[in-house]
Amino acid sequence: MLERLLRKKTVVPDSSLADRITDVKSRNIPAHVAIIMDGNGRWANRRNLPRVAGHHEGMKTVRKITRIANDLGIQVLTLYAFSTENWKRPKLEIDFLMKLPGEFLSTYLPELIEQNVKVEMIGNSDLLPKHTKKAIEKAMKETAHNDGLVLNFAMNYGSRLEIAETVKDIVALVADGAIAVDDIDESLISSNLMTAHLPEPDLLIRTSGEVRLSNFMLWQLAYAEFSFTDVLWPDFDEACMLNAIEEFQMRNRRFGSVEGEKNV
Ligand code: V07
């Protein structure tokens, strides 16, 4: 009996990742997925490790999720790597975080290139340490001609700051006489944000049980579906990603059936 049960377990496994991927791909795939990668510090605390060990582990999840996003045919994956608020953290933690782009890219840039991934960044790079900026610029340059998944890192990003900068730019256009006040509409604002060239996110995922936006893509997320999970970012894996996308597809089915109807 035990033998039969064991055999059954190996012969009839849960539908494998590959099958789930095929299934998910046969339905509506979000063009742009944005993720707030929360819970790295908590993951480390639970293991009596320093917080930075959690950040480092979280980097491995970035690789994993980039791969599956690419496999699924997602066009843009935006990851909230460092917020304008994160400067309030202890200096040693900030120093460690600022080394992660360099480490990530020296380890994974070759495979990103092989996977046809294009690295991009939103946020203010002026305040980033030189070595961080350099690493990101090198990756952006070396992947500039790739036309697969856009892997968009939000670094020193804050949505209200982005909107304030956009307002300044638009006011300057008016002052220069390039546009009239009456030309200011939603689409003009969208096209002056840092994400102007990207589709709006269809799906926002936040890990680690927090149910807040924390100043992330406030304008761009106006129509997105939100998926919150208690899973901590270092534990977030391919199955978790598929869960979030399946949830998105279930919610979107109603809209898919009415041709041309916009999901509002
Ligand atoms: C960071 C790992 C993921 C969890 C969240 C906090 C820690 C990858 C990058 C990165 C950024 C730019 C880039 C290539 C990689 C990164 C920071 C933190 C600041 F071009 N992970 N990761 N950057 N964590």
- CA proximity to 60, closest of 231, 208, 235, 240: 235
Q: Quote the ligand 1 centre to 186 CA distance (angstroms).
A: 31
- Radius of gyration of the chain measured on its C-alpha atoms: 20
| Pairwise CA distance, residues 50 & 44, whole Å | 6
Query: For 176-234, what is each residue's pLDDT tens digit?
Result: 999 999 999 999 999 999 999 999 999 999 999 999 999 999 999 999 999 999 999 99
Q: Which residues are catalytic?
A: 38, 86
- Ligand 1 atom with least separation from CA of 98: 19
| Pairwise CA distance, residues 143 & 110, whole Å | 10
pLDDT of residue 29: 98
- Ligand 1 atom with least separation from CA of 119: 20
pTM of the model: 0.93
Q: Quote the ligand 1 centre to 16 CA distance (angstroms).
A: 29
Instruction: For residue 78, report the phi and psi dihedrals to the nearest 5 degrees.
Output: -105, 125
Q: What mean pLDDT do residues 6-13 have?
A: 48
- Is the pLDDT at 143 greater than 70, yes or no? yes
Using a 6 Å CB cutoff, which residues line ligand 1?
37, 40, 55, 58-59, 62, 81-82, 97, 100-101, 104-105, 119, 136, 139, 153, 155, 233
Three-state secondary-structure class, residue 12: coil
- Is the pLDDT at 102 greater than 70, yes or no? yes
Of the candidate ranges 5-9, 15-19, 47-51, 248-252, the one whose mean pLDDT is the lowest: 5-9
Query: For 67-78, what is each residue's pLDDT tens digit?
Result: 999 999 999 999
Domain 29-249: CATH architecture, name and number where available: 3-Layer(aba) Sandwich (3.40)
